[in-house]
Amino acid sequence: MGIFLFGMFLMEEPNKKLSGRSFKRLIREYISGKIKSIFSGILATSIIQSSSAVSLMILAFVSAGIMTMENAIGVILGSNIGTTVTAWICCNPWV
């Protein structure tokens, strides 16, 4: 647990330093509504192929103050959906 919390701290500090107005505006634009945040989570998980990595990045963004917890829940929900959809596409023998 200590290593996990230390890793979160290491991800949080650079996000605080690098998050300017344009980055915050870009993130808030892509996750402005519930549906947009869910689709952003699906897209991010499809690109990165890891819902755990997306969830850790989102938690670092929330702790750095870049995004709100309400939008983060939508993105994390979308990342879980994205993992499920990716598994269906990749492991379906009929495709």
Domains: count for the chain:
1
**With contact defined as beta carbons under 8 Å apart, do 59 and 22 qualify?**
no
Q: Which domain holds residue 8?
A: 2-91
pLDDT tens-digit map of 10-48: 777 777 777 778 878 888 888 888 899 999 999 989 888
List the structure tokens of 57: 């990045």
pLDDT tens-digit map of 43-79: 989 888 888 888 888 888 888 888 889 999 999 999 9
Predicted TM-score (pTM) of the model is 0.76
